[in-house]
Structure 1
Amino acid sequence: MNREHISQIAHAGHPIKSPLDDDSVSRLLEAGLPRGDERVLDLGCGTAEWLLRALATRPHLHAEGVDVSEVALMHARQATSELGVDERLVLHQREAADFTSAEPFDLVISVGATHAFGGLLPTLAAAREHLAPGGRVLLGESFWDRTPSPAAVEMFGDLADLATTVDLVVADGWTPVHGHVSTRAELDAYEWACWGSLAAWALDHPADPAAAQVLETANAQRSQWLHGYRDSFGFVCLVLRRASD
């Protein structure tokens, strides 16, 4: 079983692929979409869960999503059809860094996808290219909440702490107008949901040729979390505006 299908199973019970509960997602969307009729772009949209939630509650919204995953976009299109928002959502299968559009967007979302651009500041530079005057960016980024273990650094790389992460954003010409740091409950709930969903699938499908692989992945990932990065990993979402706008 490939990584895309494993990810699909892992996130079956937590479709927002970040450590955020439903209330946090709603508040972030409210801060990013103050009018409710914006044009929205999600760079690295996955199954387009952010966009689908926004479209479901804002009937005048139009959105576009970009992702490389055929599997994720297939599920996004199915959900789009079920919600009846086909005419308001366009999905593009391509590298987020290569996406271009003739029209700007009022909100650009990139949550947990800075790796697609090579880091935090390149992600903000890409978002700026798509942003309409006065627009907003909803950015989600990892940080070290405490000094990480060598194993954690090997998994996630050389992340900054929270203060440094925000300082880098501000120094790049952005002003945070809303923010949310994932709580311990959100971080734990996300990890338990992902690796629990994988383990449950393997136990429910013992005859599947991939069952042993999936269960091994679930056990290994849960162990890496508990022993490697649970005490040091953090996640922050920021709603940003350009200081010059």
Structure 2
Amino acid sequence: MDLPRSFSIREGDLRILNPIDDVKLATLGRVIGLRPGTSILDLCSGKGELLCTWARDHGITGTGVDISTVNTAAARARAAELGVADQVRFEHGDAAAYVPEQVFDLAACVGATWIGGGVPGTLDLLERGLRPGGMVLVGEPYWRLDPPDEKTWSACHARSRDEFRDLPGLVGLFGECGWDLVEMVLADQDSWDRYAAAHWLNLRRWLDANPDDELAGELRQELTDDPLRYVRYRREYLGWGVFALLRR
């Protein structure tokens, strides 16, 4: 059980595996009012930057679950680097099947709602590990502009126009599911650029070092195609944000 090797190559030494940067991540922790001792469950926790930096800056405790062995190892190393290994722990496993042994003050799934088949199902997964009155964080794409054709939504990694909503539609969906939106931090084009362009540099450096690898042809084509696809489509059409929700 693991992610394909191409994910680790593409992400390289990135610590935040979505299009918000460290400043926005810190802003999110501040605006939701984290306090020392707040317990957090992070499903699809990536390299653990959310839990580790919030443990350092706010004194939270937490558990992260991720399907990638590379990410899990990086998260544990980051916790040790920041001196918070006694506050946060990271488990390798399928976040969709994870059954918490305790309830948490906050449950997060930042950028991986595919684990629940979309936002509604992911909210259900998060709520099973949440104490009554606890907060949920969901990271999710939305359309900044209405995509005019299949080429556009496909370039934005959507299977159809309807896979994502626009921002009012996404906020409305939270309400339809019985949740109040109480805070949000949105990616902007600059933070998108930092996330997307880092992939290209990671790919190029890996290709230069591994020209004969079995993945070289596939990743060479990705590096050829993705920058133009990004500036033509994703940068203009696709938004992304983290949304803080409380059950009504």
**Residue number in structure 2 paired with 1:109:** 108
**1:177 pairs with one of 171, 182, 185:** 182
Calculate the aligned-residue CA RMSD, in Å.
2.1
**1:156 pairs with one of 118, 134, 158:** 158
User: Cα gap change, 1:67/1:206 in structure 2, threshold over 3 Å: closer, same or farther?
Assistant: closer
In structure 1, stretches of 5+ residues that fail to align are: none
**Residue number in structure 2 paired with 1:77:** 76
Say if 1:80 and 1:89, in contact at 8 Å, map to a contact too. yes
Q: SS of the residue aligned with 2:236?
A: coil
Say if 1:46 and 1:73, in contact at 8 Å, map to a contact too. yes
Separation in structure 2 between the aligned mates of residue 171 and residue 126 of structure 1, nearest angstrom: 17
Shift of 1:87: 2.2
Q: SS of the residue aligned with 2:75?
A: helix
Separation in structure 2 between the aligned mates of residue 92 and residue 24 of structure 1, nearest angstrom: 25
For 1:177, give the aligned amino acid.
V
For 2:93, give the aligned amino acid.
R
Say if 1:143 and 1:162, in contact at 8 Å, map to a contact too. yes
Say if 1:47 and 1:72, in contact at 8 Å, map to a contact too. yes
**Residue number in structure 1 paired with 2:128:** 129
For 2:24, give the aligned amino acid.
S
**Residue number in structure 2 paired with 1:139:** 138
Q: Deviations over 1:108-134 (max 9, x none)?
A: 111111011100111111111111122
Question: Scaled by the length of structure 2, what TM-score is found?
Answer: 0.87
How many residue pairs are counted as aligned between the two chains?
240
Shift of 1:238: 0.8
User: Is 2:35 the counterpart of 1:30?
Assistant: no
In structure 2, stretches of 5+ residues that fail to align are: none
**1:216 pairs with one of 218, 221, 233:** 221
Separation in structure 2 between the aligned mates of residue 131 and residue 3 of structure 1, nearest angstrom: 27
Separation in structure 2 between the aligned mates of residue 207 and residue 118 of structure 1, nearest angstrom: 37
Separation in structure 2 between the aligned mates of residue 115 and residue 170 of structure 1, nearest angstrom: 20
Separation in structure 2 between the aligned mates of residue 45 and residue 32 of structure 1, nearest angstrom: 18
Question: Scaled by the length of structure 1, what TM-score is found?
Answer: 0.88
**Residue number in structure 1 paired with 2:198:** 193
Shift of 1:177: 1.4
Shift of 1:83: 2.6
For 1:223, give the aligned amino acid.
L
**Residue number in structure 2 paired with 1:55:** 55
For 1:108, give the aligned amino acid.
A
Say if 2:10 and 2:203, in contact at 8 Å, map to a contact too. yes
Q: SS of the residue aligned with 1:86?
A: coil
Q: % of aligned pairs identical?
A: 28
Shift of 1:33: 4.5
